[in-house]
Amino acid sequence: MIEITPISTITAAIKLQLAPDVAGLTIWDLPDMTTTIQGRDCPVLFPELRNGFALNWKINPDTHGGEGERTYIATYNLQYSLAYQAIGASRGLWDVMPGMQDMVKTIVAAQIKHDHLGGVVVEFLTSGITGDGTVLDPDGNVFFGKTFNFEITEYIGE
């Protein structure tokens, strides 16, 4: 039987492998999620549940063969948001930007270091970082931050 690794296993591996390499950052897994992020939680990298978390699924054959003989490549994106600091905790975005950009670079460096997640057979890449400097928590509270689009590639087969 062909099985795709559960997303909860992927998110647990992301948390386990990135957290030690990014000082001062808390990384939330799906079970850690709450609807409201408090200022004291920041900086926190959390699964982006407001606009879709697991997106752009594609499953394509990797090899030729008959039924049960093919292998496949599954790709999808997991969106995470970085709530770096609560709005109003400093004078403004330009005060926060240097530290936030340093953290973004450190997160990407940690992702590159761990581009194959241990414990699961997947590739893990940063395919985009978006945002105008603010992100929302699930309740709609505004934080200085960015959104990361992590591309997951899994090789599946029998």
pLDDT at 119 over 80: no
Q: CATH homologous superfamily for 7-157? A: Phage tail protein-like (3.30.2000.10)
- 1 versus 78: which is more confidently predicted? 78
pLDDT of residue 117: 73
Cα(47)–Cα(40) distance, integer angstroms: 18
pLDDT of residue 158: 57
Who contacts 28 (Cβ-Cβ below 8 Å, separation ≥6)?
15, 44, 45, 46, 47
pLDDT of residue 2: 64
Cα(4)–Cα(134) distance, integer angstroms: 33
For residue 125, the tally of other CB atoms under 10 A from its CB is 16
Phi, psi of 33 (to 5 degrees): -65, 140
Cis peptide before 47 (omega within 30 of 0): no
pTM for this model (two decimals): 0.87
pLDDT at 104 over 80: yes
Burial readout 24-62 (b: 16 or more C-beta within 10 A, e: otherwise): ebebbbeeeeeeebeeebbbbbbbbeeeebeeeeeeeee
Q: Could you report the per-residue pLDDT of 54-99, keeping only the tens digit for each?
A: 999 998 888 777 776 778 888 999 999 999 999 886 777 788 889 9
